[in-house]
A and B are shown apart, each in its own frame.
Chain A
């Protein structure tokens, strides 16, 4: 029993302290965000289409004019101006539904990056073609291929379904 208590105390001082001090630091800085944003063991605010009403409001630490607005909210809502209503909404929710559904233009960046890298690779390949590879073998020159083709025709290569079949030996041209 005693050892477990000591263990818990040790844990509290050694391990949990950084988490709680972070939240108190945040609160001290008076950020509009909930101070528990780094503490996952406490209900969080989140923007979700399928959860319209989040566990906690977006703005937890209200300054005095926000508190006044909250007081006014307790009266008839017909007395609130449009700006006040929008302000009340934004206190509880960070994003509206259209804002949640809004996409981003990130895909353009991604596609652009892909093309840049493809282009760069293409440049490398082209440079390699010019500066690294030597000449092709002489047997691929036009002159050689001409003579080679003539020889293949004379030899009647594949006379049934292939090469020489396509040569018209009477008219001496390709069919």
Chain B
């Protein structure tokens, strides 16, 4: 939902009204230049959740996945981030978990209401795994 909602490109400015919680969003407009089946939001999310849910994911795959995901013009859904944080736990990598939270906050750009929503959705996971948010560690201030 948030992917279409928080498109950071110019076309996203028009859909700013969709940032209210609980709104259903239009289908993703993934523009493959050459016809082909368009991937829906849910398919995209499922693909990424699957990626991070791999039981024996290795550190390189985690890094590659996160860097690629951050490269997209969207803020990842909480369920993708949940899978990524659990992958960090399997890899015993707390620093990456905190970094992921910082990265999505930065990715939200001027839309200040996205990050609190994400933290709200991820709160059970974050508490369960014992991850502290950057705010709790005082790392969001200089």
Chain A residues at the B interface, C-beta cutoff of 8 Å: 49-55, 57, 73-74, 76-80, 82, 85-86, 88-89, 91-93, 96-99, 101-102
Contact = CB atoms under 8 A, between A and B. Distances in A.
A73 B88 CA distance: 11
A93 B96 CA distance: 9
B83 interface: no
Given A92-B95, A96-B139, A98-B142, A49 B63 contact: no
Given A53-B62, A53-B63, A97-B103, A89 B139 contact: yes
Interface of B is mostly: helix
A62 to B, nearest CB: 13
Closest 10 pairs between A and B when the two form their complex, measured CB to CB: A77-B130, A78-B130, A92-B95, A52-B103, A53-B63, A97-B102, A89-B95, A74-B92, A96-B139, A97-B106
Interface stretch (B1-9, B28-36, B65-73): B65-73
Given A52-B103, A98-B140, A77 B94 contact: yes
Size category of the binding interface on chain B = 20 to 34
Contacts of B140: 96, 98
B67 A51 contact: yes
A53 B137 contact: no
A103 to B, nearest CB: 11
Interface of B: 62-63, 66-67, 70-71, 89, 92-96, 98-100, 102-103, 105-106, 129-132, 134, 136-142
B71 A76 contact: no
A55 B130 contact: no
Nearest to B89: A77
B103 to A, nearest CB: 4
27 contacts: A49-B103, A49-B106, A50-B70, A52-B99, A54-B63, A55-B63, A73-B93, A77-B89, A77-B129, A77-B131, A80-B130, A82-B132, A85-B132, A85-B137, A88-B95, A89-B98, A89-B137, A91-B95, A92-B93, A92-B99, A96-B102, A96-B134, A96-B139, A97-B103, A98-B139, A98-B140, A101-B106
B110 to A, nearest CB: 13
A78 B71 CA distance: 31
Given A73-B92, A88-B95, A97-B106, 19 more contacts: A50-B70, A52-B100, A53-B62, A73-B93, A73-B94, A76-B130, A79-B130, A82-B137, A88-B94, A89-B94, A89-B139, A91-B95, A92-B93, A92-B95, A93-B99, A96-B139, A97-B102, A98-B140, A101-B106
Contacts of B71: 50
A135 B100 CA distance: 74
A53 B67 contact: yes
A54 B99 CA distance: 10
Contacts of A49: 103, 106
B142 A52 contact: no
A97 B109 CA distance: 12
